[in-house]
Structure 1
Amino acid sequence: MPSRATPLYRRGKYWLDWDRKKDGSLRSPNLTIWWYDPAAGRIRSATTGTAQEDLAILALDRRYLADADEAPAFCNACGQPLAQAQAYLLTDAIADYRLEWGDTRASGDTIQARLNHVLDFLDVEQAKGGEGRFGITTSCGAACTTVFANALRAWSREQPVTWKNGKGEITKSRPRSPAATEAAIAQIIAVLNHAANADPPRSDKRPIYKPLPAQQVQRKRRTRIGVEELARMVAYASEPGKQRQSLHAFLVASICTIARPGAVVDINVAPDRQQWWRGAPNIDLNPHGRAQNKKHRAMLPVLPLLAEWLSAELDEYEALKPDERAGRGWLVNYYGRPVQDVDRAWDTMLLNLGMPRAREWRGYVLRHSLATIARNRGAERWDLEGFMGHRASSQTEVYAVGEFPTVTRALMGIIKDIERLAPGSLHRNPTGASRSTPQAMEAAMSG
């Protein structure tokens, strides 16, 4: 039976607690969901199958959402659901949003971090007692007001961004940027709109505020690197016997595509991804089955240098037995396995090359710098916007794939200069001759 103490979590008629014997010892190592069954006239229970509190809470939320009796109240006269923002708790709305949407997204970890920031705000307000305006009992109705948004903003701006080790100890911190605060505001807006859009609706109100415009809160990145720094990076990554293959592939693919780091590590030659096949003149940075979002991934012409790398990866993929090919084919990989990022290798490179390790020197500096160099070398704005995914594709471009000639010419010039400064460093196998010399590449692109 559950203990008489306050349960760990409660939602509607359900609560979460340990199943204990009369002597207080645990009957089960897993947390249990409890509820009163009026038909049976007794308390019933179901195991969550886990001892982790966060996973057990998700199990309770799933049971709650699947219970028709726990749906929104219905009007006795017309039978329509009564969505009451004043009765629907913000914490419940956050839980439902994560369960039904946020946790299923590729950006689920980012969404969770932003919403945890909001929950921390509610906990701080709750701890103030009578002095706090909000807390765990805050409803969606209250959260839709500008009063809530302004209070969240004021608190958030004073909270540093922290990093913790495995023991939960803070190892690093920095001041929170206005953009990070507005990202949390935008996330809570998504939660509140999700509640109003549910079928049936769970809330009859929507937030009356918006996040501040990006131009107002984002700090313009001023750091750029030149071709000389690019050559030093590629030479470092291509040094034989140093196990820097993933960093090497990341640098080369970034130079050839000017893509965001997340899109670069997502390049794969496996046929089911439908990104590239042998001899294809274009590569689709958006793999089959991935929905486009605001960070649009473009269809790009394949520069000969990139074709060399893709062909070599495809050779290795096809050399595998069919039952060994699952999860392989990644251009940026660690012994065949995909990587989420190259941040650790990147930090080590900056340290060894004596380059700054400030925030603006993260992997994104490649995209910003290459775009700047390409523009200064004659890349036209229209071509550069399409190449970088800053311009949403029109219906015409679904049929007519852009070649972006001014950008490709600029990139070919950059590649030629890197080859001159660090001979052989751009090739996948630095110890052997390339199948595409800079002169051959230039001839292929001009034809």
Structure 2
Amino acid sequence: MSGHATPIYRRGKYWLDWDRKRDGTLRSPCLTIFWYDPDSRRIRSASTRSAIEAEAIKALDRRYLADAGEAAAFCETCGQPIAQASAYLLTDAIADYRLEWGDKRASADTIKTRLLHVVDFLDAQEAAGGAFGITTNCATASSSAFVTAFRAWSRLEPVRWRNGKNVVTIERPRSPASTEASVAQLIAALNHAANAEPPRSDKRPAYRPLPAGQVQRTRRTRVGVEELAKMLRYAAEPGKRRGSLHRFLIGSISTIARPGAVCDISVAPDRQQWAPGSETIDLNPHGRTQNKKRRPVLPVLPILAEWLQAELDEYLMLPPERRAGRGYLVNYYGRAVKDVDSAWAAMLTELKMPTGREWRPYLLRHSLATLARNRGATRWDLEGFMGHRAPSQTETYAIGEFPTVVAALTGIIAELHRLAPGTLHRTDTGASRSLPHVREVQMPG
């Protein structure tokens, strides 16, 4: 058993620690779950099968949740668990929410970051002797007093980015929208506790996130076709390792999609996003549940079809056993990338462009939407193309062609061909392989 006075982690009767011999050496290279068994009157243990603390904590959480006897309270008559928000810690609610829901979502990293901000607030309160701390329960966390204190603290807490060595590399003031994103995630965790079967909490939050229009700044920065051409020339420069950025620019210009959706485009058959000759591409891969940031089905512009076909050709040349994780449009020597933030920042510096918050990769989506709108794209088409409008039941069967947006993008691409010849193709010769048939869409009227 561990010789530490304080375990690494504890929930209910279970605690996590290293299993040590009397001389202090480890019995096992893996972390161990301990608990006291009243029937045998001894401490029992079970291996987590991992030496990584985060994985071991998850193993303990799973064991705790599977133990019906660890409910907060029981009815003396029927023996069924009774939900008591006053006996269920907020930190446990957050851990269970991530384990049972958040970590299984495509946005798991975002969910984790938002909830860790709430945990940081609890730690700060604990250290300062504030009204809240690590023992804050769900009943307290559901109160208006809690969220008021959290918002006041968060407003003064900067956003920090850390490198692989956990050293802060970037720091900026936190926006109200960032704070409200954590509030929304906190609400989701508390409601998850109340919705559990059986419920773990009998309280729901007495507050809501502030409306987006109240906390989000209007982003006014846009770039024109000339700036887009400069970006393409930079990304397509021969002999430079800028392939992932080049592909990201092509995907963005062809779809006006969010950066995450562009990085998620794949030709792998199991994702069912695109097939040779297909006139459409589904930005929502097979198995991904749609959320508020909707990913639509879009027409495939000829330049995108060229890149997708070439990527598929390379994918099919691989032996079947090497195809897992390959086939992404935006990749770095075949490997998928989560984002192009580093390459993007280097490009802005090289091109002597501003590097403020409004100049992050989202700038492409905002700029292309503005260019398309100013070139005749109708509101209805643009909303559907960008995923801002949920399709009707009719559109579920009859896929929209968004002719005014396609016409606008076709004009933008033609201008980019003139300003930056060859940069829209996979080689710097400007030559394009034969393309699958793509229906020509005319402007109405």
TM-score exceeds 0.5: yes
Once the two structures are superposed, the pairs formed by residues 43-58 of structure 1 within 5 Å of their partners are: 43-58=43-58
Percentage identity across paired residues of the two chains = 71
Most deviating of 48-57 and 205-214:
48-57
8 Å contact kept, 2:9–2:16: yes
TM-score (norm 2): 0.94
Q: SS of the counterpart of 2:220?
A: coil
| Cα contact 2:277–2:437 (8 A) shared by 1 | no
Correspondences of 1:270-289 after superposition (within 5 Å): 270-289=268-287
Q: Per-residue CA shift, 1:243-266, capped at 9, x if unaligned?
A: 322211111111111011111111
Aligned pair in 2 of structure 1 residues 397, 67: CA closer, same or farther (>3 Å)? same
| CA distances 1:402-446 after superposition (whole Å, capped 9, x unpaired) | 011111110011001111111121112222522479xx9999444
Cα separation, 2, equivalents of 1:170 and 1:331: 31
Q: Any idea what SS the aligned residue of 1:157 has? A: helix
Amino acid at match of 1:330: Y
Aligned amino acid, residue 162 of structure 2: K
- 1:59-98 to 2 correspondence within 5 Å? 59-98=59-98
Matches of 2:273 and 2:380, distance apart in 1:
24
TM-aligned CA distance change 1:379 to 1:441, over 3 Å: farther
- The verdict on how the C-alpha distance between 1:23 and 1:380 changes in structure 2, with shifts beyond 3 A counting, is same
Answering whether residue 131 of structure 2 is matched by residue 133 of structure 1, we say yes
In 1, the alpha carbon distance for the partners of 2:162 and 2:354 equals: 23
- Residue in structure 2 matching 1:332, options 324, 330, 334: 330
For the Cα contact (< 8 Å) 2:301–2:438, is it kept in 1?
no
Cα drift, residue 88 of structure 1? 0.8
Structure 1 SS opposite 2:44:
strand
Q: Shift in Å at residue 79 of structure 1? A: 4.7
Paired AA for residue 140 in structure 1: C
Q: What's the secondary structure of 1:172's corresponding residue?
A: strand
Partner SS for 1:162: strand
What is the rounded CA distance, in whole Å, between the counterparts of 1:406 and 1:86 in structure 2? 56
2:37 is matched with 37
Shift of 1:316: 1.9
Distance 1:203 1:281, change over 3 A: same
- For each residue in 1:229-280, what CA deviation from the matched residue of structure 2 results, as whole angstroms up to 9, or x when unmatched? 0111111112222232221111111111101111111111122211111111
Match of 2:206 in 1: 208
Question: Do the aligned partners of 2:33 and 2:60 also contact (CA within 8 Å) in 1?
Answer: yes
**Alignment match, 2:432:** 434
Change in CA separation of 1:158 and 1:343 when aligned onto 2, cut-off 3 Å: same
Residue aligning to 2:390: 392
**Aligned partners of 2:275, 2:176: CA distance in 1, in Å?**
43
CA 1:171/1:433 → structure 2, altered by over 3 Å: closer, same or farther?
A: closer
Cα distance in 1, alignment partners of residues 96 and 203 from structure 2? 16
Given candidates 164, 175, 178, the residue that maps to 1:177 is 175
**What's the C-alpha RMSD, in Å, of the aligned pairs?**
2.1
Instruction: Tell me which amino acid in the other structure corresponds to 2:255.
Output: T
Contact 2:421 2:430 in 1 (8 A): no
**CA deviation digits over 1:289-336, x for unaligned, max 9?**
111111000111111111111122222222333333332221111122
- Aligned partners of 2:125 and 2:133 also within 8 Å: yes
Stretch moving more, 17-26 or 296-305: 17-26
SS at 1:279 equivalent:
coil
Asked if 2 retains the 8 angstrom alpha-carbon contact of 1:256 and 1:305, the reply is: yes
| Structure 2 CA distance for partners of 1:2 and 1:323, relative to 1, 3 Å | closer
Q: Which residue of 2 aligns with 1:112?
A: 112
Q: SS at the partner of 1:45?
A: strand
Q: Distance in 1 between matches of 2:416 and 2:432?
A: 14
The CA distance in 1 between the partners of 2:55 and 2:424, in whole Å, is 46
**Residue of structure 1 in register with 2:290 after alignment:** 292
1:67 and 1:441, CA in 2 relative to 1: closer, same or farther beyond 3 A? closer
Contact map agreement 1:240 1:431 (CA 8 A) in 2: no
| Maintained 8 Å contact 2:71/2:82 | no
- Which of residues 346, 350, 353 is equivalent to 1:352? 350
Listed as ranges, the gaps of 5+ residues in structure 2 are none
Match of 1:246 among 239, 244, 247: 244
1:193 to 179, 191, 194: 191
The 3-state SS of whatever aligns with 1:86 is helix
Larger mean Cα displacement after TM superposition, 382-391 or 331-340? 331-340
Residue 218 of structure 1 aligns with an amino acid whose one-letter code is: Q
Contact 1:412–1:442, Cα closer than 8 Å, also in 2? no
For 2:34 and 2:347, the matched residues in 1 are separated by 53
| Paired letter, 1:403 | E
Task: Name 2:303's counterpart in structure 1.
Answer: 305
Say whether the 8 Å CA contact 1:304–1:436 is kept in structure 2. no
CA distance in 1, matches of 2:55, 2:217: 37
Q: Higher mean Cα deviation, 56-65 or 399-408?
A: 56-65
Task: Give the count of matched residue pairs.
Answer: 443
C-alpha distance in 1 between matches for 2:320 and 2:16: 46
Query: Unaligned stretches of 5+ in structure 1?
Result: none
Query: C-alpha deviations, 1:152-188, integer Å up to 9, x for none?
Result: 1111111111123344332321111111111111111
2:399 to 401, 409, 415: 401
Looking at structure 1, the residues matched to 368 and 278 of structure 2 have their Cα atoms a distance apart, in angstroms, of: 24
Moved over 6 A (4+): 440-443
State the 1:3 CA deviation.
Answer: 2.8
